[in-house]
Structure 1
């Protein structure tokens, strides 16, 4: 029995060791990490604009809730606040949103409710001011991530990818809990900023880990395309999930569900990655500043930045523009992003494989042009259905760019620098974060100053003008010292091949000699 138990224990340990070394399991972990991170990133998109508006409007509403104006019991005050964009509450009470936005002296006159437009807060100064507040809140995550990335990249080169990956999970879990229970702008801002640190750890370590275990360029492109599918799924599920849960359950519920999923991801990381085990890179990586001076890496990073800046500007500005022009229900604010999310998932899945065959530079060039054209068409929409095609084009085009440029980052390091990937994917994540930092912060102010349509024209033209630069990535040259290393490597491989053929030939002679005897 003792020997049998020892044999079973040995088999279990062998199985666990094999699973830990499985590239597919590592890909699954990165996929889940990006999924949860981007669900948390986008689940707030339909919640925050409405929640901040109602939170700012809470005190005036309570001041006006006298028996002559709003005869509600105290327990129904919150429902009245939450339903600012839901006409059903005001239809049952006979008070319109227009009357609640008037001064107290005028609120005795009750206007008839109108589900088609009179209840829509067009031109409301408070609503327009939300552009700036929401933009700064959304940008805080990307800004902190932008500042953290230059430290995480070199750190992964020294201590390996496992510990930063697990640290990213822990920080994201704390951020999710803060989002669930925060009831002030300051705490929400802090939770969003904390998420930036966790995202930096997860994104840089995850992409570097994939680049290190998938050494073949085509396989690496396929793996990164699958991992970006997790990002796409998070972007896809986040807005509608958040809007529906906020509409029918409340603000806390979606974040608690994400926290439970994050715990499951952490358990999987503990089992597979063993984050307590430090495995530094065997080679000394190229310094971060050297990589940042490489013009080809800068072009790839610029493509990632400006393509994602388009959707980053849409996230805070589009829901507010819809409130001004379309008077949608709260759940529609999140559903409007579904076409972009679905098409991003399709784009990353298709071009993770096709980009290698058609040329990643060409895929990115077409994607940048398509982003610009699609974003120019967004303000032409008159209702939520008119947003379907432009948003679909935006998401699909960004999927083309991301699935092309992320593998090219690893390829450029292999071709022109030392094949250690933490720093270069820190640069890629910096580019991604610059888009999501500058997009919401600058976009909110621009939308308030010159309008949402003008904002879309600006970012659309920028993407179109940047697209031709992708041509320079068609055949980037190798550095002279890297070329020498590659030539030496090829020569040694050929010598080894010739020696193996000679050995085979000698073995053949011996076999023939023995046969003759």
Structure 2
């Protein structure tokens, strides 16, 4: 082997072990997953409504053609009879008999404001949007323990493969059933990518501050996907067609798959060196449940907004297709800002405090959304919603890993499966319940209900200020070089440990 080949192999080996490249892969995976998640937001409501109108129009056209055929046959028969018995029939009667009934030629209004079928789309769109999160919710409990056995690389690559198939199905599906299947398939791919991706970051970034920064950057990829998806989808949908945005996404997904093959080598199983805490044990931890609940209810606000807001805009503002996606732009921009600011900042001022303020801000902002009279009135409340959710997510994701370090075995697949379950519960219950609520009591009341829920839940975040360590972890924490002990000294959430440390010194 030549020196050049040896140097190249050494460079490739070093690159595969680079934490920054692993962070880049997770960033791109979350970016594309959430682009596919949100690119359908402005497309599906309008596309399903158009499909319904075309189906009704086609049925009416067939009925009209059948009616014309009947009248044509009837007229011909009448004319024959009239030729035979012309003297016995009056011209006035013949004219009345042969005259076809008047058809309704009133043009359809440009705005679907008065269309009762539009409100029925709330339920169909809500169920379609919720299918992805529901399937992801059911898949996560299996993906978390699986990563403990075979490592993060293979599930990550499996997520890419499933996501590519889902994107192609979205591009060429022309019925509600096929769109539903494509959305459900995306849930399986998202479960693999998100659980494996966040667990991989937690395992390579062991320092709490570095982990928070890395997860803030990774969530920035999620934010960029949410940011780019709706306007990207709505603009291409209006000016090119439904297929175009999904084909562009499919090409980007292939690039991500090639990067994973090069860096992660997913053909090799790399199980964890120690057995992680079981999923059911983690679910009994009240502090993990509080963190998961914060993620769930904060994201439920935007999950309810996504299917209901475009329909409400079509009903009350007569918005065009491109406006349905652009309306989410302030929320996406502010989410990107919030995750990048509070990724490193939350470590200094207290993640529990950031989550508390974020939950209150989500509630206030979401209640203000129905007061908008046009698309410009949506800028401020949507900006507040996105910024606040960015505060909560960038604070709670690192806390999940920190709680495992503090109270359980430091293996992260299962705890980030719980975090993803919480995220999915928000996006499963939000659209499915939100669509039915919006149809029954109206969009303003829907926003009011979820806003109050977020505000009421927010005080529970105060319990995350100083979570105590488990007794079995105390022996490890007493070691001078323990990284968890160092983190606990650096944060304000160390009261329980400091008390134990002072008690030990006094006894000596």
- TM-score, normalised with respect to structure 1: 0.85
- How far, CA to CA, are the matches of 2:110 and 2:251 in structure 1? 38
Q: Which residue of 1 aligns with 2:21?
A: 25
CA gap of 1:492–1:297, structure 2 versus 1, over 3 A, is closer
Q: In 1, distance between residues paired with 2:481 and 2:106?
A: 85
Pick aligned residue for 2:238 from 221, 237, 247: 247
Cα deviation code 1:73-100 (max 9, x no counterpart): xxxxxxxxxxxxxxxxxxxxxxxxxxxx
Structure 1, unmatched stretches of 5+, are: 70-103, 112-117, 495-517
SS of corresponding position for 1:138:
helix
Partners of 1:479 and 1:343 lie apart in 2 by: 37
Answering whether residue 154 of structure 2 is matched by residue 168 of structure 1, we say: no
Structure 2 gaps, min length 5: 66-100, 486-508
User: How far apart in 2 are the matches of 1:17 and 1:209?
Assistant: 18
Name the structure 1 match of 2:4. Answer: 8
Q: Deviations over 1:449-504 (max 9, x none)?
A: 0000000000000000000000000010000001112214648999xxxxxxxxxx
Q: Which runs of structure 2 are paired with 1:492-511 in the superposition (5 Å)?
A: none
Say yes or no: does 1:232 pair with 2:228: no
Question: Given the superposition, is the C-alpha separation of residues 444 and 249 from structure 1 closer, same or farther in structure 2, using an over 3 Å criterion?
Answer: same
Distance 1:188 1:274 in 2: 32
Equivalent residue number for residue 37 of structure 1: 33
Relative to structure 1, the CA distance from residue 57 to residue 300 in structure 2 (aligned partners, 3 Å threshold; closer, same or farther) is same
For 2:2 and 2:345, the matched residues in 1 are separated by 49
Deviations 1:392-436 (A, max 9, x none): 000000000000000000000000000000000000000000000
* Structure 2 residue 98 is matched with structure 1 residue 107: no
Q: Is the 8 A contact 2:477 2:484 kept in 1?
A: no
CA distance in 2, matches of 1:461, 1:485: 42
Q: Which of 128, 135, 148 does residue 144 from structure 1 map onto?
A: 135
Where does 1:295-310 land on structure 2 (aligned, <5 Å)? Answer: 295-310=286-301
Following superposition, the deviation at residue 373 of structure 1 comes to 0.2
Determine the C-alpha separation between the residues in 2 that align with 1:61 and 1:319: 23
* Alignment map for 1:419-498 (pairs within 5 Å): 419-488=410-479, 490=481
- After TM superposition, the score normalised by the length of structure 2 is 0.86
Report the secondary structure of 1:377's partner residue.
helix
Matched-pair contact (CA < 8 Å) for 2:159–2:191:
yes
Aligned-residue RMSD, C-alpha? 1.8
Separation in 2 of the partners of 1:57 and 1:139?
24
Match of 2:332 in 1: 341
Aligned partner of 1:59 among 55, 58, 63:
55
Q: What secondary structure does 1:283 align onto?
A: coil
Structure 2 contact 372–378 (Cα < 8 Å) conserved: yes
Q: Distance in 2 between matches of 1:261 and 1:23?
A: 22
Report the counterpart of residue 208 of structure 1 in structure 2. Answer: 199
